[in-house]
Amino acid sequence: MNAYAWYPSREHTEHSNIAAFCREHGVDGGYRALHARSVADPEWFWERAVRDIGIVWQVPPRRVRDDSGGIAFTRWFPGGRTNLVGSCLDRQVRQGRGDAPALRWEREDGARGVLTYGEVATDSARVAGGLRELGVTVGDRVAAYLPPGPEAFVLLFACARIGAVLVPLFSGFGAEAIAVRLADAEPRVLVTATASVRHGRRHDMESAARRALENVSCVRHLVVLPDRTSTGPAHTTWQDLAAAEPAGTVSLAADTPFLLLHTSGTTGRPKGAVHTHGGFPAQVGSETRYNLDLRPDDVVCWVTDPGWIMFPLVAVGATLAGACVLTYEGAIDHPDSARLWRLLDEHEVTVFGSSPSLSRALMGRDRRHPEAPARLRILGSTGEPWTEEAWHWYFAEFGGKRCPVINICGGTEVGGSLLASAPTLPQSPCGFAGPCLGIDAAVEDASGAEVPEGQVGELVVRQSWPGMTLGLWRSRARFAQAYFGRRPDRWSHGDLVSRIGEEWFVHGRLDDVIKVAGKRLGPTEVEEAVLGDPAVGEAAAVGIPHPVKGEALWCFAVPAADGPLGVPERERIRARVADALGSAFRPSRVIAVPQLPRTRNGKVMRRLIRDVVTGGEPGDLSTLVNPESLDALRTAVQHTPDQ
């Protein structure tokens, strides 16, 4: 895991954003030396970083941070007044880049377009004015149930411009999931589309939105996009909003909420993470500038949805850099898996990001893909741990061995990332350079002691960071319990990680850890052994309660290309895992399933697999993209004999 597969070129080491920052501020030793200084003296680093990123202050902050209330309740940039629109859009227009492209968009049916910085600034001002005419003011929430495209992009900045709080909703949600989040956030306005399309099939969004509104009373206005036919009752259209008198950019306290984004818990109602006008741009600006190395001539495309954290992260981070964002509405493999390559080449994408699941899906379907997209220079990755085979495919086959793979690991509550790769450092498969700049992270065991090199522990953070959620929406006690309940002076992230030399590796979630007869391991290393068998296309490993061992290891495998996965193949897989990890970890059962339960952004929901087997309460299912997989799992478990 620690043999380097990629080394930075002179372009990376001398002309990257991180190299320029180190030269300007006299930091010898590059990224790692800068990281050490950033956690030893966060005030020094963030004061200089926000200036380098381009954060515009109407009133400069009195200080960088006030952590007198403890890590959980740190105030960032106290006394400062800003608005992220001033930094992302107005600054670019003022500097003469109004005609530069800010957004390129394409839909599955081939429709496409471009919006310049000047057009996004104008459109967002008019939509902001339209929201004001609907009674929206500072602090009011506006929910967005939209597919990826220009409206979702413009609405983000329209809300920010007038101090409204954007509440993104995943475009694949059904009515019940929408209603739960609306009831929690209590938005004044809900903006939706009539429908979205994936794989040529229509997903009726407006009907789902209207059914959700039958169960909540807080929403006073439903806004529907103008270019899609609606047959429902009278409503405000997007065109009505965009015809309003433009609204100006209001000056706001740095800790004014800008984004209320729900993240699903394993049980109970979804948690609402809150991000601000000061902290969120500082955090994502640092990561996109120094880790993804975004520049004004870049076109960045990340496979995501407006309801996930990566959409606002890329929108804000790219516009801070003066770069262009490419959004795509539809299935990335429709009408064939080469669609992605054509999309990236035709839009001249230079920075591309996705989840490891997408790579596994593409490499498993057809290995005769076109050559690497011509202009790519940076690959990004987030969402889940890699397997080595999938990482090598992404790096070598997709990226042509010339692009670094910038792994990032964080989450909705993080407002960005805790761990990341760096384009100025050599990379080994699946690894991270370490914590992001300004992130004081460690790997600890359950007692709070740092674990030795090579051993797996939990990722914790010992100081706050600008992007950390202000708390959980209307649930201060739940926030403190969820992230600081076990370690009051540490953010407990719940990821299992290890360090080998100077590199870090992620092994999965703490609640996914498998303990067989007192021996712990993460699911990823089991799944990598299973995926090494040619009969397997996808795999998930979970621990199932056992009266003697504590837990037994069960593996669920999706056959490769609809091939057989009978008794001989399953026995071979059990032997492969035992050979790779030791006989103690020979799976008790290997079960063939047609698909694994996943979220739209590709994460395998191992907790649901475990719940199906044990009969546990499944909790929140709203992010599950293929609920039919659960019935198939139950059937497979019932009809697969013990081994």
Instruction: Note the pLDDT of residue 550.
Output: 77
176 or 373, greater pLDDT: 373
Higher per-residue confidence, 562 vs 268: 562
What number is the average pLDDT over the span 295-312? 96
Convert 569-616 into a string of H (helix), E (strand) and C (coil).
Answer: HHHHHHHHHHHHHCHHHCCCEEEECCCCCEECCCCECHHHHHHHHHCC
Q: What is the mean pLDDT of the chain?
A: 91
Strand order across the 589-592 sheet: 536-546, 550-559, 589-592
486 found inside a domain: yes
**Last residue within a domain, chosen from 506, 531, 563:** 506
Same domain, residue pair 519 and 500: no
Asked if 487 and 568 sit in the same domain, the reply is: no
For residue 121, count other CB atoms closer than 10 A to its CB.
25
Q: What is the pLDDT of residue 266?
A: 42
Domain of 261 in residue numbering reads as 10-506
Same domain assignment for residues 379 and 494: yes
- In three-state secondary structure terms, 537 is strand
Shared domain for 487 and 600, answered yes or no, is no
Contacts with 183 (C-beta within 8 Å, 6 or more apart), sequence order? 215, 216, 218
Strands 165-169 and 112-116: unpaired
Give per-residue pLDDT as tens, 218-240: 999 999 986 554 455 557 889 99
To the nearest whole percent, how much of the chain has pLDDT over 70?
Answer: 94
**Is residue 2 one of the residues assigned to a domain?**
no
Report how far residue 472's alpha carbon sits from residue 260's, in angstroms, rounded to the nearest whole number. 9
Is there a domain that residue 466 lies in?
yes
- Examine residue 5 and state whether it is found in any structural domain, yes or no: no
Residue 537 dihedral angles phi and psi, to the nearest 5°: -100, -40
Same domain, 116 and 224: yes
* CATH number of the structural domain spanning residue 345: 3.40.50.12780
Q: Which pLDDT belongs to residue 45?
A: 98
Sheet containing strand 257-263, edge to edge, reads 236-237, 221-224, 189-192, 141-145, 165-169, 257-263, 271-276
Does residue 4 sit within a domain?
no
- The pLDDT assigned to 324 comes to 98
- CATH number, domain of 591, equals 3.30.300.30
Alpha-carbon distance of 639 to 293, in angstroms, equals 51
Q: Are residues 155 and 201 in the same domain?
A: yes
Q: Are 477 and 523 found together in one domain?
A: no
Whole-number pLDDT of residue 330 = 94
Specify the pTM: 0.86
**Does residue 3 lie within any of the structural domains?**
no
Same domain, 475 and 588: no
Q: Which two tokens stand for residue 403?
A: 């692009």
The answer as to whether 314 is a domain residue is yes
What is the distance between the alpha carbons of residues 489 and 460, in angstroms, rounded to a whole number?
10
Q: 498 pairs with which residues across the strands?
A: 505
Asked if residue 191 belongs to a domain, the reply is yes
165 touches 260 (CB < 8 A): yes
Tens-place pLDDT, residues 174-216: 888 899 899 999 999 999 999 999 889 988 999 999 999 999 9
> 345 phi and psi, to 5 degrees?
-70, -45
pLDDT at 255 over 90: yes
**Digit-coded pLDDT (tens) for 514-560:** 877 666 677 877 888 898 898 998 899 999 988 777 788 999 999 98
pLDDT, tens digit, for every residue of 263-287?
Answer: 864 445 788 999 999 999 999 999 9
More confident residue, 364 or 568: 568
Same domain, yes or no, for 164 and 108? yes
Q: Residue 480 above 60 pLDDT?
A: yes
**Per-residue pLDDT, 267:** 44
Please check the confidence at residue 399 and state whether its pLDDT lies above 50. Answer: yes
Which helix (DSSP H) or strand (DSSP E) does residue 33 occupy? helix 30-40
pLDDT in tens, 493-518: 988 899 999 999 998 777 777 877 66
Which of 452, 476, 506 lies at the terminal end of a domain, its last residue? 506
Which pLDDT belongs to residue 360?
78
pLDDT at 509: 78
Please indicate, yes or no, whether residues 430 and 564 belong to a single structural domain of this protein.
no
Q: What is the CA radius of gyration of the chain?
A: 24
Instruction: Report the number of distinct structural domains present in the chain.
Output: 2
Same domain assignment for residues 550 and 411 = no
Tell whether 492 and 585 lie within a shared domain.
Answer: no
- Tell me the per-residue pLDDT of 33-77, one tens digit each, with 9 for 90 and over: 999 999 999 999 999 999 999 999 999 999 999 999 899 999 999
Residue 478 clears pLDDT 90, i.e. is over it: no
> What's the token pair of residue 112?
């496409």
- pLDDT at residue number 244: 94
pLDDT of residue 393: 93
Q: What per-residue confidence (pLDDT) applies to 526?
A: 87
Q: Which of 440, 471, 506 is at the close of a domain?
A: 506
Mean pLDDT confidence for 112-119: 98
pLDDT digits (tens, 9 = 90+) for 153-167: 999 999 999 999 999
Q: What is the mean pLDDT of residues 433-456?
A: 94
Flag whether pLDDT at 135 surpasses 60. Answer: yes
